[in-house]
């Protein structure tokens, strides 16, 4: 291909993948495509990026594959295809997202109001919600939670943890069995290290929470709590309107 220096191919086949077969199929498709490019344009593909999608544990039923299994399966399949199509072995890239950081994050919420609707459900309302974690509302993503200040309490009940936005969909965890919660307790929701802050919003004028890194007994603020002033700092009132 004159004037084109082809560096590589890329794919990303999805997220929360717990099986190896989809990656094998992706490798087969990409390597076949590389062989077509080789045949038609006599161009080798130096790199192939197979994207991310490596599933992590959020809640019961999630069973992540060991990283070694993913790496070896992709590598073996690339080698096999390279032999079949007589291609140079490309450099393999991956783009792990949540599997790097997801399990490292825990979100802490203060419990505010508690609303029991007999025969329906008991809502425990926290001082955050879809603004710091949109995934339950967006994808019905499931999370596990605990009462951080009473981890050993065994007196449990089923509650629904709701956020504080004016949306019926602002539910963080639906119908979870956990120790009885009171106003003022701290609820922790686990595995919120990925797609929390990066997908967060200021809906309802809610500032973003701070992020604290905890390591070897030390704690460090790595992202400051947002202020109300910061939320409106880019707003501009046109001079024209100020005179009204």
Ligand X SMILES: Cc1ncc(COP(=O)(O)O)c(C=O)c1O
- The binding site for ligand X (CB under 6 A) comprises 12, 15, 51-54, 95-99, 194
Report the residue number, 52 or 207, with the smaller CB distance to ligand X: 52
Residue 228 exposed, middle or buried by CB count within 10 Å (0-12, 13-18, 19+): exposed
Q: Is 89 helix (H, G, I), strand (E, B) or coil?
A: coil
Nearest residue to 127 via CA among 159, 164, 160: 164
By three-state DSSP, how is residue 43 classified?
Answer: coil
Helix (H, G, I), strand (E, B) or coil at 85: helix
Tokens of 114: 């508690």
Cα–Cα distance between 81 and 34 in angstroms, integer?
10
User: Tokens 């490292």 — which residue?
Assistant: 104
Quote the strand ranges of the chain, DSSP E. Answer: 8-10, 47-49, 91-93, 106-117, 121-126, 145-147, 156-162, 171-179, 186-190, 211-215, 218-223
Q: Which of 77, 156, 165, 166 is catalytic?
A: 166
Select 8 or 97, whichever has its Cβ closest to ligand X. Answer: 97
- Angle, CA of 19, 20 and 24, to the nearest 5°: 140
Selection from 15, 12, 19 nearest residue 65 by Cα = 19
Q: Give catalytic status of residue 210 as yes or no.
A: no
Q: Can you tell me the distance from the alpha carbon of 109 to that of 91, in angstroms, rounded to the nearest whole number?
A: 44
Residues tagged active-site: 166
């Amino acid at each position: 291909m004159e004037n084109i220096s082809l560096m590589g191919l890329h794919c990303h086949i999805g997220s929360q993948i717990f099986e190896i077969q989809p990656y094998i199929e992706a490798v087969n498709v990409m390597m076949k495509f590389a062989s077509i490019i080789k045949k038609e344009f006599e161009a080798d593909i130096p790199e192939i990026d197979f994207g991310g999608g490596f599933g992590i544990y959020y809640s019961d039923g999630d069973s992540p594959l060991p990283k070694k299994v993913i790496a070896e399966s992709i590598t073996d399949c690339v080698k096999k295809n390279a032999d079949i199509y007589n291609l140079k072995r490309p450099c393999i890239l991956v783009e792990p997202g949540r599997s790097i950081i997801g399990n490292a994050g825990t979100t802490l919420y203060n419990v505010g109001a508690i609303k029991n609707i007999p025969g329906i459900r008991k809502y425990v309302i926290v001082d955050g919600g879809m603004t710091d974690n949109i995934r339950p509302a967006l994808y019905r993503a499931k999370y596990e939670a605990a009462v951080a200040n009473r981890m050993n309490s065994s007196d449990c009940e089923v509650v629904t943890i709701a956020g504080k936005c004016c949306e019926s969909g602002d539910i963080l965890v639906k119908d979870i069995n956990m120790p009885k919660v009171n106003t003022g307790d701290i609820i922790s929701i686990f595995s919120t290290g990925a797609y929390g802050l990066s997908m967060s919003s200021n809906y309802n004028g809610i500032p973003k929470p701070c992020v604290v890194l905890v390591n070897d007994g030390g704690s460090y603020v790595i992202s400051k709590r947002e202020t109300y002033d910061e939320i409106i700092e880019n707003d501009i009132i046109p001079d024209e309107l100020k005179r009204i």
